[in-house]
Chains A and B, each alone.
Chain A
Amino acid sequence: MRDVAIIDYGVGNLLSVERAFEHCGANAVISSDPDYIRKASHVVLPGVGAIANAMASLSKDGLDQVVKEVAASGTPLLGICLGMQILLDESDEFGVTRTLGLIPGRVVPVPNVSPDGAAVKIPNIGWYGLRMGEADVPWTGTLLEGIEPGEAVYFVHSFMASTADHRHHLADCLYGGNSVTAVVMRDNVVGCQFHPEKSGDVGLRILRGFLGR
């Protein structure tokens, strides 16, 4: 049995994350207890809303340090949406916010202009097909193993990750003609910009991939 700790540090729809993991056969618990989180076999950092607020809530109870410990211990760690953005060094959303620095890079706005100069709607809300990242890092052995390029997942966001090292850029999608980062990964730390728990069957397969099936 996989024991998944879903870190609770404030508001948002955590129930759907919990239900999706349970659907995948895991024992998922929403928790803000550092000891429980440290002992889990898999840890999930969810998140919605503004990054500065999220970082403040996470730091208030020292959970930022717990997440860093989990990452250093080798436990599989999955950031979802804003929880993925928090894994990087810094975010440009409403001024600069320092984040966890587990994957080198920064969080930047989704481009609001297409390469041919047309306006692109922000936030990006919708289903987009996954593509291989810039460095063509294979998906075998990652949470995307078994996912075919083109299979669609659900995005809702205005900012996205820009990794310093292309090898940490596992997948993207095309929105408004621009590459939008979908999955970042460095060793045991992985993040999805999209919501796997809201991406139907494809999303559930990605969560099973994270659990190691």
Chain B
Amino acid sequence: MRNIRLIARLDVKGPNLIKGVHLEGLRVIGSPTEHAQRYYQQGADELIYMDCVASLYGRNNLHDIVEQAARDVFIPLTVGGGIRSVDDANRLLRCGADKVAVNTAAVSNPQLITEIARCFGSQCMVLSVEAKQLGPGHWEAYTDNGREKTGIDVVDWVKRGVALGAGEILLTSVDRDGTRRGFDIDLIEAVTSVVSVPVIASGGMGKPADAVAAVQSGGADAIAMADILHYQRASVADVREATQDAGIDVRQFDHA
């Protein structure tokens, strides 16, 4: 039916690739450029760059890093963090980004979703949602890299976001991020069952089999991987093999 995408997610603070737990307690991993090249060579289907402190400082600092990647990484690049306007989005697209992921500014100004979709197409407008569970079947959307509550229900918000023009959802479980406990399958299922656009599951991948569960039980269209790749607990190829073995359609990639 559809091919599932295997995406490497690179959280960046200043010049460094970092990784946290619950989006906090950020630890430096290394150079984002070197890791991007490695994941490209391994056969990642896309890269996501997130500027973790952008909303805090009110601007995205990834332009140089994205421009560097666009030199020799020929797969789609999604860039998020601190995007507040159509101009901010355009500046990142001009540096080599293919899509922008917007969270904080979309919550405070939902019209921004429509404006970006109208200017660049909805395929370019990824709604980034940071979800924390409140109770069974209930999640609250957070902003500012998991720091600020919004009081908004995640399921209501994604429906509204898609109606406003979002072409894709990047769904991060703050509860699971960096824990290696597996994806929040209920969260993924709650979102994929109400939106018609692709959903990227993010947060908690501990082993390749977790990706299989996110797709088969949660209905995810794409898998974002960070910790598992950064600490080399698995390669993109391992995850591709595990998903293929489980009967999931993925891109044919010749691991030379």
Contacts and interface: CB of A to CB of B under 8 A. Distances in A.
Given A13-B94, A15-B95, A126 B252 contact: no
Contacts of A2: none
A123 B221 CA distance: 12
Contact of B93 (A11, A151, A157): A11
B70 interface: yes
Nearest to B192: A121
B96 interface: yes
A49 B253 contact: no
Interface stretch (B120-128, B175-183, B207-215): B120-128
Nearest to B98: A13
Q: What interface size band does chain B fall in? A: 35 or more
A109 B197 CA distance: 15
Contacts, number: 120
B97 A13 contact: yes
B130 interface: no
A116 to B, nearest CB: 10
A108 B231 CA distance: 45
A48 B120 CA distance: 6
Interface stretch (B1-9, B10-18, B53-61, B148-156): B1-9
A124 B121 CA distance: 13
Interface residues of A, number: 44
Interface string A1-18: 000000000011111100
Contacts of A15: 67, 70, 94-96
Nearest to A176: B1
Interface string A175-186: 111000000000
Nearest to A14: B94
Interface of A: 11-16, 19-20, 23, 48-50, 82, 114, 118-129, 150-152, 154, 156-158, 175-177, 195, 197-201, 203-204
6 nearest interchain CB pairs? Answer: A127-B251, A49-B121, A152-B251, A15-B96, A126-B3, A156-B123
Given A12-B93, A13-B96, A48-B124, 17 more contacts: A11-B119, A15-B67, A16-B70, A20-B74, A49-B119, A119-B196, A121-B2, A123-B168, A124-B2, A125-B167, A126-B221, A129-B252, A150-B252, A152-B251, A198-B74, A200-B43, A204-B74
